[in-house]
């Protein structure tokens, strides 16, 4: 009987986390559309909006890491930053830039339909980089997704070639960023949580966006009639940061399977809400049919990837056996080295401190903390 209240409480928390994720994810997209659309707030400067997000996220992450010391930085050398963080930041900036620009030309509903191409772009990029093998079942699934998106595009009433190109380019840039993150960072053993990711990537992305902003948007922003409400942009940037953190927390609390299912639900909710909030956005039956076909392919692709993860994981019994063997070896080693425990302890302490000093050269190793924010998202 004591287990039931605990299970109920866990279920309630799970639903709260999922509701938070779906609300923030949908809210940020609709908020961006409202800001950028010339029919609503009329701030048609997607690069500027993206730079505001990067500046705000970078500042908050700097405050949390360097000032409040809530999160510790990772071991970052100049070589890793130049060869990994810089190219990843470039593609991250491009994906946000092109993705936000698409809001100026096409509807939120159609953008969500085009985003069904994300698994296709990621899979083909991974195959090109050698991190995935070209399998018949996955390739057939990619063809199904692409076919559904083509049907959905054909049924779009307000089809815009430029807006579609912007969105597809943003999807390709995001796919390159995801694959590069796996190839460059994970192979070097570097794992970044959302705070440390923003700490290193946001300032670099801001720098990449500055040049196109200076050329394309700065001259037009000199208009004296341009409206800029500080609180509107502040809350928009705050919501974008909260979405980044909520995704990490939700995956840590519920798991990758749940977040993928919630993503599918979020897409349908977002498409429905966008037609209500933005009357100029129209959905045709052909849109729905095409998106349903593409979404079925996305769901099956997620199933294949999650099934691969389950197969690759060792059974619980083997994990316990390995742990028992390691404990036995450790106990034997401690018994053999008992006479030199004092010298060994002092040597281990020095190595421990050096590791932390390399990981956070601007912080004392005594003050470094490693809070467990959740599991790393897949």
Higher pLDDT, 361 or 28: 28
pLDDT digit string, tens, across residues 194-243: 888 889 999 999 999 999 999 999 998 887 777 788 999 999 999 999 98
Taking Cα atoms as reference points, which of 295, 296, 325 lies closest to residue 115? 295
- Structural contact between residues 45 and 220, judged by C-beta atoms closer than 8 angstroms: yes
Neighbour-count burial of 57, counting CB atoms closer than 10 A to its CB (0-12 exposed, 13-18 middle, 19+ buried): buried
Average pLDDT along the chain: 78
pLDDT more than 70, % of the chain: 78
* Three-state secondary structure call for residue 368: coil
Please indicate whether residue 140 or residue 371 has the higher confidence score (pLDDT): 140
Give tens-digit pLDDT for 32-54.
999 999 888 989 999 999 999 99
Confidence at 246, pLDDT banded by 50, 70, 90: confident
Contacts (Cβ under 8 Å, ≥6 apart) of 149: 113, 114, 116, 117, 290, 291, 294
pLDDT of residue 279: 81
pLDDT at 350 over 60: no
Mean pLDDT of the region 236-251: 84
Place 249 in a pLDDT band, splitting at 50, 70 and 90: confident
> Mean pLDDT over residues 3-18, rounded?
69
Structure tokens at 365: 């190793």
pLDDT score, position 66: 92
Reported as a single tens digit per residue, the pLDDT across 271-288 is: 889 888 888 788 888 989
pLDDT tens for each residue of 124-170: 998 988 888 888 888 888 999 999 999 988 888 888 999 999 999 99
- 328-349 pLDDT per residue, tens: 455 544 444 443 443 433 323 3
- 202 near 61, Cβ under 8 Å? yes
Q: What is the distance between the alpha carbons of residues 170 and 120, in angstroms, rounded to a whole number? A: 13
Q: Which residues contact 101 (CB under 8 A, 6 or more apart)?
A: 46, 47, 166, 170
Query: What is the structure's pLDDT at 303?
Result: 79
Locate 309 and state its tokens: 């993860």
Residue 168 sits at φ, ψ, to 5 deg, of -65, -40
pLDDT level of residue 1 (50, 70, 90 thresholds): very low
Rounded to 5 degrees, what angle do the CA atoms 316, 322, 328 make?
135
Residue 322 confidence (pLDDT): 52
Mean pLDDT within 80-107: 93
Is the CB of residue 30 less than 8 Å from the CB of residue 277?
A: yes
Q: Is the pLDDT of residue 187 over 60?
A: yes
User: What pLDDT score was predicted for residue 227?
Assistant: 77
Q: Is 87 exposed, middle or buried (0-12, 13-18, 19+ CB in 10 A)?
A: middle
Segments making up each domain of the chain, as ranges:
46-106+160-220
* pLDDT attached to residue 365: 32
């Amino acid at each position: 009987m004591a287990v039931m209240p605990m299970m109920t409480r866990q279920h309630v928390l799970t639903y709260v986390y999922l509701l938070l994720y779906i609300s923030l994810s949908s809210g940020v997209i609709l908020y961006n559309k409202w800001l950028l659309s010339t029919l609503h707030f009329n701030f048609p400067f997607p690069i500027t909006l993206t730079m505001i997000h990067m500046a705000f996220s970078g500042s908050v992450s700097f405050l949390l890491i360097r000032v409040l010391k809530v999160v510790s930085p990772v071991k970052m050398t100049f070589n890793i930053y130049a060869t990994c963080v810089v190219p990843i930041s470039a593609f991250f900036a491009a994906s946000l830039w092109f993705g936000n620009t698409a809001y100026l030309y096409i509807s939120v509903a159609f953008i969500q339909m085009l985003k069904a191409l994300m698994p296709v772009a990621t899979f083909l990029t991974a195959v090109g980089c050698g991190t995935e093998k070209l399998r018949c079942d996955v390739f057939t699934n990619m063809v199904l997704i692409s076919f559904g998106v083509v049907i959905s595009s054909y049924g779009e009433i307000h089809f815009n070639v430029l807006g579609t190109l912007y969105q597809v380019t943003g999807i390709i840039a995001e796919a390159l960023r995801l694959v590069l993150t796996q190839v460059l960072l994970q192979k070097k053993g570097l794992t970044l949580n959302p705070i440390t990711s923003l700490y290193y990537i946001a300032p670099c992305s801001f720098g990449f966006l500055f040049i196109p902003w200076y050329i394309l948007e700065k001259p037009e922003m000199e208009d004296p009639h341009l409206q800029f409400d500080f609180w509107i942009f502040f809350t928009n940037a705050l919501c974008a940061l909260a979405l980044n953190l909520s995704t990490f927390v939700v995956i840590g609390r519920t798991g990758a399977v749940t977040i993928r299912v919630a993503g599918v639900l979020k897409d349908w909710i977002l498409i429905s809400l966008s037609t209500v909030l933005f009357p100029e956005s129209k959905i045709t039956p052909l849109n729905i049919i095409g998106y349903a076909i593409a979404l079925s392919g996305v769901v099956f692709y997620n199933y294949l990837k999650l099934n691969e993860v389950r197969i690759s994981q060792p059974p619980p019994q083997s994990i316990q056996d390995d742990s028992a063997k390691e404990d036995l070896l450790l106990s034997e080693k401690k018994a053999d080295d008992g006479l030199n425990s004092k010298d060994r302890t002092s040597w281990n302490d020095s190595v421990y401190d050096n590791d932390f000093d390399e990981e956070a050269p601007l912080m004392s190793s005594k003050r470094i903390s490693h809070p467990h924010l959740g599991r790393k998202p897949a």
